[in-house]
Chain A
Amino acid sequence: MKTESGLRFIAWQMLTGDRPKYFGLVLAIAFSTFLMSHQMSIFVGLLDRTRSQIRDVQDASVWVMDPKTQYVDEVRALSFQDLYYVRGVEGVQWAVPLLKGVVRAKAADGTFRNSILMGVDDASLTGLPQKFLAGDWRALRNPKTVAIDRVGYEYFFGRRPYQTGQELELGPQVVRVGAVVDASPPFVNLPVIYARFSEALDMAGREPRQLSFILCKARPGVNEEDLCRRINAATGLKSLTSGAFGRDTIWYYIRNTGIPINFGITISIALLVGALVSGQTFSLFILENMKYFGALKAIGVTSARIVGMIVMQALIVLAIGYSVGISLTALFFELTKDNLDLRGFRLLPEIMLLTGGLIFAVVLVATILSVRRVVVADPAVVFRG
């Protein structure tokens, strides 16, 4: 019975027999895969950071804000009257204030840094992250007590183990650290400090003594989008679900900062470099083997079967190179997951798929060009020394 295993054996030997070229091919594809998946992961992670404070509020599902608010870091204060209006809208189970401001924090040794101050509802503490690394939510019941995130803790008090009880100056106030929380990393890697709303107003110093957002929960059975429309109609305020507000924030950064353009350029360069390196290396490999493919054609191997051999070689280097490259990216994020500047960046399955698709396209184009060269090559070339 006729079998193609013989030709597959020849193709495999041709590919792997020349170790330097074989490793060069695999490394070219691995390098391109790493470059693309790594840069895309950083880009996506960076955009995801822009909505970190929205994501950390897990109790409330609807955000109410000034009608002109575009994203979470651009705050125009609301009045307490607005809070009462929102509470009166049909379908609102509860509504609480949230203060978001920037405050200069100073440790006892004089170390200071601008920090994000989040004032959460006194009674429910809605908006406080739910993962505690030291202390717990009960500490915020005490007067002049705050919770601080990992970045802030390590900046002001040094590395782990996390402990409580240290003092911080927040504006005109001296407060005690009652808990360390695992907050999502914000876009700008500033410390995040959580205090009860009533105390945060005093800590915010010159910030307006008003609230930044109103956080709501819909009554059971009430559609959140419907509730947003109702709040908007009743109060004139902008009202968005957490998901929609997060997306708006991401899009604001995409539209109004150089991040997407710069990362787009970087990713394009990564793709281009990857395509050139992989394509060039693979084309050179085929070019150097042209006379042997020509000899096979002369001996009686059809063009279709030679194409099959080349496609097999391409798929092997693609599979191995992609696996190595994507593993390197995964390893990078695994090794850096505890680094405070890099936490939150990770390799998403979508990025693995997208990178796989892109690198497949690169190898496909290189293969098509190489195959074309072999197929259209004058078979009589083997008789020309």
Chain B
Amino acid sequence: MSGSDNGRVAVVCRGVEKAFGTGNTRLQVLRGVNLEAPYGELTFLLGPSGSGKTTLLSIIAGLLKQDQGGVQVLGQDLRKLRNGEAALFRLRNIGFVFQQFNLIPALTAAENTAVPLLAAGWKRKAAIGQAREFLADLGMAHRADEVPSKLSGGEQQRVAFARALIQSPKLVICDEPTSALDGPTGRRVMELLRRIALSPDRAVLVVTHDFRILEFADRVAEIRDGVIEKVTTTGGAR
């Protein structure tokens, strides 16, 4: 399903525009956004509330379609895909870490981690076995059978990372990964993210408004009022 990887850039946005509503209630959220997220890098999309970063993230994830402009994700123009094809593309190629983790309360850590595998058609035993191994690599083996309510915020975040990475996606999208955590825990989470998520054939896109974690970024794109105002290459906390 994915075409070429467009050189070494995983995500390319060119002149992306998006508005909601019509007439007097029409709200122009994105106004010609240009953005690149290269492989092997942690790209931060930084901006205040209402700047359009969630809308841009949703378009990159294939959950929304832009009105104008082009978006290439892993070489694929998602706008050309039908809903079912876009879902399959996400399942195979994109890992998600949500702001509120969105771990299913009734599933254990291992079962939550195995969700993408189960959705991809793996047998339950094999999927959960794989998830246990993955959690063990993250130092979570002893917590694999606990439900989310029994886990700390940091542990839930690790499970969320495990769920996002278990299918070895080429793109990982993290939405405000530290907003629910205190400063030290947030730093540990970002260190972990850099350690486990970054690889030469994977891009990581992090949406945040948390300035405390900017040191972990390789590249920071600042968005304000629907426009990317500045892109800074930082080198990350290596």
- A: which residues have CB within 8 A of B? 1-7, 9-10, 13-14, 16-18, 291-292, 294-305, 378-380, 382-385
Contacts of A294 in B (CB 8 A): 102
Name which residue of chain A comes closest to B160, CB basis. A295
Known contacts A380-B55, A382-B102, A383-B54; decide if A1 and B121 are in contact (CB<8 Å).
yes
Stretch from B82-90, B185-193, B223-231 that touches the partner: B82-90
* Residue from A14, A378, A383 in contact with B106 in the complex, judged by beta carbons closer than 8 Å: A14
Name which residue of chain A comes closest to B55, CB basis. A380
Name which residue of chain B comes closest to A295, CB basis. B102
Q: Which 8 residue pairs of A and B lie closest in terms of their CB atoms, listed nearest first?
A: A17-B106, A300-B91, A6-B118, A2-B121, A380-B58, A295-B102, A300-B90, A379-B63
Chain B 98-116, CB-CB to A under 8 Å as 1, else 0, gives 1110101111000100111
Name which residue of chain A comes closest to B63, CB basis. A379
Contacts of B63 in A (CB 8 A): 297-298, 378-380, 382-383
Contacts of B120 in A (CB 8 A): 2, 300
Asked if B117 is at the interface (CB within 8 A of a chain A CB), the reply is yes
Asked if B176 is at the interface (CB within 8 A of a chain A CB), the reply is yes
* Residue from A13, A302, A384 in contact with B111 in the complex, judged by beta carbons closer than 8 Å: A13
Q: How many Å from the CB of A14 to the closest CB on chain B?
A: 5
Contacts of A14 in B (CB 8 A): 104, 106-107
Asked if B92 is at the interface (CB within 8 A of a chain A CB), the reply is yes
Whether the Cβ atoms of A300 and B99 lie closer than 8 Å is: no
Name which residue of chain B comes closest to A3, CB basis. B121
Whether the Cβ atoms of A295 and B98 lie closer than 8 Å is: yes
For the complex with contacts A17-B106, A300-B88, A383-B57, 7 further pairs of A-B residues with Cβ separation under 8 Å are A6-B121, A298-B61, A300-B120, A301-B119, A304-B84, A379-B63, A380-B61
Once the chains are docked, how many angstroms separate the CA of A18 from the CA of B106?
A: 7
Once the chains are docked, how many angstroms separate the CA of A384 from the CA of B57?
A: 11
Asked if B17 is at the interface (CB within 8 A of a chain A CB), the reply is no
Once the chains are docked, how many angstroms separate the CA of A14 from the CA of B98?
A: 19
Known contacts A303-B83, A383-B99, A385-B100; decide if A10 and B92 are in contact (CB<8 Å).
no
Known contacts A1-B121, A18-B105; decide if A302 and B87 are in contact (CB<8 Å).
yes
Contacts of A380 in B (CB 8 A): 54-55, 57-58, 61, 63-64
Q: How many Å from the CB of B161 to the closest CB on chain A?
A: 14
Whether the Cβ atoms of A300 and B58 lie closer than 8 Å is: no
Whether the Cβ atoms of A6 and B127 lie closer than 8 Å is: yes
Once the chains are docked, how many angstroms separate the CA of A2 from the CA of B175?
A: 30
Name which residue of chain B comes closest to A303, CB basis. B83
Once the chains are docked, how many angstroms separate the CA of A333 from the CA of B58?
A: 58
A-B contact list, 18 entries, CB within 8 Å: A2-B121, A3-B121, A6-B118, A13-B107, A16-B106, A17-B105, A292-B102, A295-B96, A296-B115, A298-B63, A298-B98, A380-B54, A380-B58, A380-B63, A383-B57, A383-B61, A383-B207, A385-B179
Once the chains are docked, how many angstroms separate the CA of A301 from the CA of B84?
A: 9
* Residue from A4, A10, A291, A378 in contact with B102 in the complex, judged by beta carbons closer than 8 Å: A291
Once the chains are docked, how many angstroms separate the CA of A31 from the CA of B102?
A: 33
Whether the Cβ atoms of A3 and B123 lie closer than 8 Å is: yes
Once the chains are docked, how many angstroms separate the CA of A324 from the CA of B193?
A: 50
Once the chains are docked, how many angstroms separate the CA of A17 from the CA of B88?
A: 28
Q: How many Å from the CB of B173 to the closest CB on chain A?
A: 9
Whether the Cβ atoms of B54 and A384 lie closer than 8 Å is: yes
Contacts of A1 in B (CB 8 A): 121
* Residue from B83, B94, B105, B123 in contact with A6 in the complex, judged by beta carbons closer than 8 Å: B123
Instruction: Select the residue from A6, A13, A18, A380 with max chain B CB neighbours within 10 A.
Output: A6
Which residues of chain B in 116-162 are interfacial with respect to chain A, using CB atoms and an 8 Å cutoff?
Answer: 116-124, 127, 147
Once the chains are docked, how many angstroms separate the CA of A362 from the CA of B120?
A: 33
Whether the Cβ atoms of B58 and A383 lie closer than 8 Å is: yes
Q: How many Å from the CB of A378 to the closest CB on chain B?
A: 8
Q: How many Å from the CB of B30 to the closest CB on chain A?
A: 13
Contacts of B96 in A (CB 8 A): 295, 298-299, 382
Q: How many Å from the CB of B112 to the closest CB on chain A?
A: 10
Which residues of chain B in 32-89 are interfacial with respect to chain A, using CB atoms and an 8 Å cutoff?
Answer: 54-55, 57-58, 61, 63-64, 83-84, 87-89
Whether the Cβ atoms of A383 and B175 lie closer than 8 Å is: yes
Known contacts A7-B119, A296-B115; decide if A301 and B91 are in contact (CB<8 Å).
yes
Whether the Cβ atoms of A302 and B83 lie closer than 8 Å is: yes
Once the chains are docked, how many angstroms separate the CA of A383 from the CA of B59?
A: 11
Q: How many Å from the CB of B87 to the closest CB on chain A?
A: 5
* Residue from B99, B102, B107 in contact with A17 in the complex, judged by beta carbons closer than 8 Å: B107
